């Protein structure tokens, strides 16, 4: 850990290690030069059986070949959209486009026509690279219907048809000079609070951040990383993919997150590291409890994307016998802002999201005064440094609302910072519940309810109320067949929290409305409740 003693909630950038001026193409070439025969990529299709593989030398060769094909269709600086699940071609396009100086627009493969149309139109992507279908979603059919009204999209290319993907005019072109500050990806935010915005990310941000993250997680050369985070999300295409290349390890790319298959592959392939949002970690724990496998090869389990309840941390450490490290960040920050250390205490792992990453400033800023808050005082978590996005695509108003004139990126998350620089997330600025004039933080209530043995997942939401302004609603997914009654749930909460924090509304759900990256969409739960779709206890 960094040894600091702060007097206010501001953590200055720590310049340990190196901040490199490298592009995605640079780190791929570095890996191919120093570890040409190391397995870089393994394909895990839906069948659950490892299929195609690439060494670093083979990966560079294919990426450069694809870069030539892309340059025969596009000019450096063009935007191309990528609409596909986790398959090796996704990786090849990510690398080939970076070498060609193109910007890829990542698209969630579960999108329906209206969502696809919005992203293609808002990003002004020139070509859509896609698969025919995925899990019943007729993607090519939907795409053909959408682009009729989009003159900016000039072609559709099936990335699983290698003759089409690698087709080029035969003219060998010199690859362009790509700079670290150049845009490389536009990722549309998950939309937990509304319609997505396109965060424009640059090479320097995702290259350095992925390396620093996996260094803190302890991944080294030759280690095996199981990637079941979606590639359209920074957790998949940046932390996992670019991080593995930076560390010259082996990435297994999983086409589908099936907890039972994942624990089999962990045992079979001797996986060392993986990252999953809390819903995924819970799924793995439930699968391991049903059919135990040898998971002793794992030395780091990483989770983030939303608050990770203490009970889940304890269960994961017991099941995997490994370090569980929590990361915190968002798409707009490439993505990781803070991370716990492997030797942190259980109290710090369960009660914080760690200290900031190297070369990153973090402050807790009072939303009302826009000044740095005192130690241990709730405010908005803000970051400043190389990791921040360039802008929101074609949205200067949203950009100005997010990145202030002093360069602070306002995350929209509420949190505190202690004197050691450890950050604690307490909720979203827009999710904070104001009951009778008192601020209540959903994460605190969720963590308390997560300790109930019969509950697997919790989401706490504020519901409008004429008397109190808002009241607390607790949505719950059962861990098994047991269904605690209302009185038992209230008693459990009262044992741990003050009375005003006790939910008024209790609702069981069988599944959640999720973003593409696995976060619970609380605003959807709120809307569904207001529409009368739930029957509270």
SS3 letters across 205-221: HHHHHHHHHHHHHCCCC
**Residues whose CB is less than 8 angstroms from the CB of residue 526 and which lie 6 or more positions away in sequence, other chains included:** 461, 462, 463, 473
Phi, psi of 170 (to 5 degrees): 90, -10
Can you give the C-alpha Rg of the chain in angstroms? 23
Residue carrying the six token digits 């089409």? 164
Pairing of β 391-392 and β 198-202:
antiparallel
- Number of neighbouring beta carbons within 10 Å of residue 371: 11
Would you state the structure tokens that stand for residue 47, as one six-digit string?
């069948």
Tokens encoding 13? 């950038």
Cα–Cα distance for residue pair 405/436, rounded to 1 Å: 34
Contact status, residue 374 vs residue 366, Cβ threshold 8 Å: no
- Residue 73 is predicted with a pLDDT of 96
pLDDT at 437: 63
> In the prediction, which pLDDT does 237 show?
98
For residue 207, give Cα distances in angstroms to 138, 202, 213, 244, 489.
34, 9, 10, 11, 46
Neighbour-count burial of 317, counting CB atoms closer than 10 A to its CB (0-12 exposed, 13-18 middle, 19+ buried): middle
CA dist list (Å): 240 to 167, 237, 273, 318? 28, 6, 10, 24
Distance CA 357, CA 348 (A): 16
338: left (phi over 0), alpha (psi -120 to 50) or beta: beta
pTM: 0.85
Give the torsion through C-alpha atoms of 280, 281, 284, 285, to 10 deg: -140
Class of domain 433-530: alpha beta
First-to-last alpha carbon distance for the chain, in angstroms, is: 45
474-492 pLDDT per residue, tens: 999 999 999 999 999 999 9
pLDDT single digits (tens) 298-356: 999 999 855 577 888 888 988 999 989 999 999 999 999 999 999 999 889 988 999 99
117: exposed, middle or buried (C-beta count within 10 Å: 0-12, 13-18, 19+)?
Answer: buried
State the maximum Cα–Cα separation within the chain, in Å, rounded to a whole number. 74
CA separation, residue 225 to residues 35, 48, 129, 260, 267 (Å): 16, 16, 26, 17, 13
Question: What's 443-474 look like in SS3?
Answer: HHHHHHHHCCCCEEEEEEEEEEECCCEEEEEE
Per-residue pLDDT 10s for the chain (537 aa) are 999 999 999 999 999 989 999 999 999 999 999 999 999 999 999 999 999 999 999 999 999 999 999 999 999 999 999 999 999 999 999 999 999 999 999 998 988 888 899 999 999 999 999 999 999 999 999 999 999 999 999 999 999 999 999 999 989 999 999 999 999 999 998 544 456 799 999 999 999 999 999 999 999 999 999 999 999 999 999 999 999 999 999 999 999 999 999 999 999 999 999 999 887 898 999 999 999 999 999 999 999 855 577 888 888 988 999 989 999 999 999 999 999 999 999 889 988 999 999 999 999 999 889 999 999 999 999 999 999 999 999 999 999 999 999 999 999 888 999 999 999 988 777 777 878 767 687 888 898 899 999 999 999 999 988 777 789 999 999 999 999 999 999 999 988 887 888 999 999 999 999 877 778 888 899 989 999 999 999
pLDDT for residue 192: 44
């Amino acid at each position: 850990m960094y040894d600091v003693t702060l007097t206010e909630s501001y953590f200055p950038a720590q310049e340990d290690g190196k901040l490199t001026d490298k592009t995605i193409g640079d780190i791929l070439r570095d890996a191919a030069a120093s570890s040409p025969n190391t397995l870089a990529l393994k394909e895990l299709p839906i069948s659950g059986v490892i299929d195609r593989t690439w060494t670093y030398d083979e990966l560079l060769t294919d990426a450069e070949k694809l870069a030539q094909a892309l340059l025969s269709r596009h000019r450096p600086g063009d935007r191309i959209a990528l609409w596909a699940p986790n398959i090796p071609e996704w990786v090849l396009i990510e690398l080939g486009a970076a070498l060609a100086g193109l910007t890829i627009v990542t698209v969630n493969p579960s999108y329906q026509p209206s969502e696809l149309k919005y992203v293609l139109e808002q990003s002004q992507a020139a070509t859509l690279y896609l698969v025919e279908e995925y899990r019943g979603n007729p993607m090519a059919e939907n795409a053909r219907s959408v682009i009729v009204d989009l003159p900016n999209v000039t072609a559709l290319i099936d990335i699983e048809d290698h003759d089409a993907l690698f087709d080029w005019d035969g003219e060998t072109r010199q690859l362009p000079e790509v700079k670290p500050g150049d845009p490389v990806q536009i990722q549309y935010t998950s939309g937990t609070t509304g319609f997505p915005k396109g965060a424009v990310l640059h090479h320097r941000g995702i290259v350095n951040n992925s390396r620093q993250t996996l260094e803190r997680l302890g991944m080294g050369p030759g280690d095996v990383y199981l990637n079941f985070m979606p590639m359209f999300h920074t957790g998949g295409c940046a932390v996992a993919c670019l991080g593995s290349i930076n560390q010259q390890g082996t990435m297994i790319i999983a086409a589908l997150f099936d907890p039972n298959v994942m624990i089999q592959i962990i045992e079979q392939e001797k996986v060392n590291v993986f990252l999953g949002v809390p819903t995924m970690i819970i799924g793995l724990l439930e699968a391991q409890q049903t059919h135990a496998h040898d998971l002793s090869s794992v030395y780091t389990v990483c989770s983030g994307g939303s608050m990770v309840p203490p009970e889940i941390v304890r269960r994961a450490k017991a099941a995997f016998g490994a370090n569980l490290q929590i990361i915190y960040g968002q798409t707009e920050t490439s993505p990781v802002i803070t991370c716990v250390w492997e030797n942190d205490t259980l109290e710090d792992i369960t009660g914080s999201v760690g200290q900031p990453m190297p070369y990153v400033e973090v402050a807790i800023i009072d939303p009302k005064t826009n000044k740095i808050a005192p130690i241990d005082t709730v405010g908005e978590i803000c970051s400043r440094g190389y990791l921040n996005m360039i802008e929101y695509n074609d949205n200067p108003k949203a950009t100005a609302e997010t990145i202030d004139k002093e360069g602070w990126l306002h995350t929209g998350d509420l949190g505190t910072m202690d004197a050691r620089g450890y950050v604690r997330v307490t909720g979203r600025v827009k999710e904070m519940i104001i009951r009778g004039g008192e601020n209540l933080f959903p994460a605190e209530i969720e963590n308390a309810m997560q300790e109930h043995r019969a509950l697997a997942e919790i989401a706490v939401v504020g519901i409008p109320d004429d008397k109190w302004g808002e009241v607390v609603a607790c949505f719950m997914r059962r861990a098994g067949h047991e269904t605690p009654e209302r009185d038992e749930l209230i008693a459990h909460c009262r044992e741990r929290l003050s009375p005003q924090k006790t939910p008024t509304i209790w609702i069981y759900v069988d599944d959640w409305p999720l973003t593409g990256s696995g976060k619970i969409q609380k605003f959807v739960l709120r809307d569904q409740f207001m529409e009368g779709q739930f029957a509270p206890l």
